[in-house]
Structure 1
Amino acid sequence: MSEYPRFDFDQVDFITADTHFGHQRIIELADRPFGSVDEMNDEMTRRWNDIVGPDDVVLHLGDVALGPIEESMAMTRKLNGRRFLIPGNHDRVSSATQTKAAIERFRPLYEAAGWEILPEIVEGTRSGHRLLACHYPYWGDSQEVERHRAHRPRNDEELPLLHGHTHARDHGPGGLEFHVGVDAHGFAPIPFARIDEWITTIHPGLTRLNTAIRDAREIVTSYENVPWPEMDALYYTQGYNDLRAVLGELLDALDAPEPDSHHDEALPDGD
């Protein structure tokens, strides 16, 4: 069964992280090309709304706003789209840095600005491929010490991970990770189509196989937990149809072509 809460990645049109609206010091800390925090706020808002439409869905992987938080969150109301937020360490709704009381206090402020707050790590599928999303990468930080280790995802299954946090400017994808922070992507959200292109290059058969196996196990487990007297013909019919669907996915995954040699060379060595 899935270790993390489920999220529907198929609905997402754009993804981003680490906007830091209202944060004066991030200009210096991340060497951003803005002369003032007002310029940064205005330019990132313009770039966001230039590509994101009112009906688009955006997944933000944390650190959305700092500074005077009431003012900073209020300005994010101008951002287009339905906006999901996975909290980062600088968000006032993050269990990595905030108390439960603080999260309860600030959550309405985020929601009033149009943010739908998700758990700190989510798992789901995109066109059948399993994905994780979290503010933090498996490894790495914007500082010398890897902070918030307990709030990072486990890498037991080697699943592709979408993340922010590092403020790296020289790359997006790297091995099993894709850094989506604005510092690496022109200070704007990126189309999820770029994630689609990337995910098909890593373990193309494995991600689909893991998804199919997990779904089959969840269906079998759901039947094992139902007392026999409550199971009727309609229930069996639904179960048969469900099993046919997941077994079809499993067979498709097993028939998937092996990755090309250059894909194997791109797999991480544990760095």
Structure 2
Amino acid sequence: MTIFFTADTHFGDHRTINIWKRPFASVAEMDALLIDRWNAVVGPEDSVWHLGDVARRPADVPGLLVRLHGTKHLLRGNNDPDATLTAQGWASVGDYAEMEVDGHRLVLCHYPFRSWNGQHKRALNLHGHSHGRLKPLLRQYDVGVDVHDFTPVTLKRLLATRGEVGRTVRPVRAG
């Protein structure tokens, strides 16, 4: 089983194409590509943590979840009404989560933090919301689809984007 992370899919939301300048001629084209890319990397036994802003219409969410591979967990975004959270198909729903993956402590939320639990003990902050428009802090990663070619991403791939896989960071001493 592999654990994936994603955010800001905004299925069915034409405004997202315009606001975030997504390269799609229509919502149908965007949604089809998002579903295809999700299912191309996520298998039925994998888990996906969706860090918010799932879809424009909550009524569409159950049908989307059936079409998407894996066990799906939701951390609510600012565009996720209660009906999105109560849709059939989520294994869990919340606003915030902490977990350990591959020896890394993770702090997950839709929103990027300025500081987070364990930040100075090498904990990582995974978030959405900013659509790649926010300069990240050290050990902070935007998992949104706009940053990752409209595809869920693994922690290993996130760390590789900054050359941090297998790297040990040691404090630099002045003097």
TM range (shorter): 0.7 to 0.9
Q: Aligned equivalents of 2:134 and 2:19: distance in 1?
A: 16
Q: Aligned equivalents of 1:199 and 1:163: distance in 2?
A: 19
**Match runs of 1:260-271 below 5 Å:** none
Partner in structure 2 of residue 99 of structure 1? none
Instruction: Say which structure is richer in helix.
Output: 1
Asked if residue 85 in structure 1 is aligned to residue 49 in structure 2, the reply is: no
Q: Does the 8 A contact of 2:6 with 2:145 survive in 1?
A: yes
For normalisation by structure 1, the TM-score amounts to 0.55
Q: Does the 8 A contact of 2:17 with 2:23 survive in 1?
A: yes
For normalisation by structure 2, the TM-score amounts to 0.82
Give the number of aligned pairs.
167
Q: Aligned equivalents of 1:19 and 1:156: distance in 2?
A: 26
What displacement does 1:76 show? 3.2
Partner in structure 1 of residue 105 of structure 2? 130
Instruction: Say which structure is richer in strand.
Output: 2
5+ unaligned residues in a row in structure 2: which ranges?
none
**Match runs of 1:146-161 below 5 Å:** 154-155=115-116, 157-158=118-119, 159-161=123-125
Q: Which of these two proteins has the greater Rg computed from alpha carbons?
A: 1
Is the deviation greater in 13-22 or in 120-129? Answer: 120-129
Structure 1 pair 127/69, CA: closer, same or farther in 2 (3 Å)? closer
Q: Does the 8 A contact of 1:65 with 1:73 survive in 2?
A: no
Secondary structure at the aligned position of 1:183 is classed as coil
Question: Larger RCO: Structure 1 or Structure 2 (Cα < 8 Å, ≥ 6 residues apart)?
Answer: 2
Q: Cα deviation per residue 1:16-48 (whole Å; 9 max; x = unaligned)?
A: 110001111100011000000011011110111
Asked if residue 27 in structure 1 is aligned to residue 54 in structure 2, the reply is: no
Q: Cα deviation per residue 1:87-135 (whole Å; 9 max; x = unaligned)?
A: 111111xxxxxxxxxx3x5543x2x1x1123321111222333220110
Residue type of the partner of 1:127?
A: D
**Match runs of 1:96-175 below 5 Å:** 103=82, 107-108=85-86, 110=87, 112=88, 114-139=89-114, 154-155=115-116, 157-158=118-119, 159-168=123-132, 174-175=137-138
Secondary structure at the aligned position of 1:85 is classed as strand
C-alpha RMSD of the superposition:
2.6
Identity %: 38
2:50 to 50, 57, 60: 60
2:141 to 178, 199, 211: 178
Partner in structure 2 of residue 259 of structure 1? 170
1:191 to 144, 154, 164: 154
Residue type of the partner of 2:5?
A: I
Q: Aligned equivalents of 1:60 and 1:46: distance in 2?
A: 16
Q: Does the 8 A contact of 1:87 with 1:117 survive in 2?
A: no
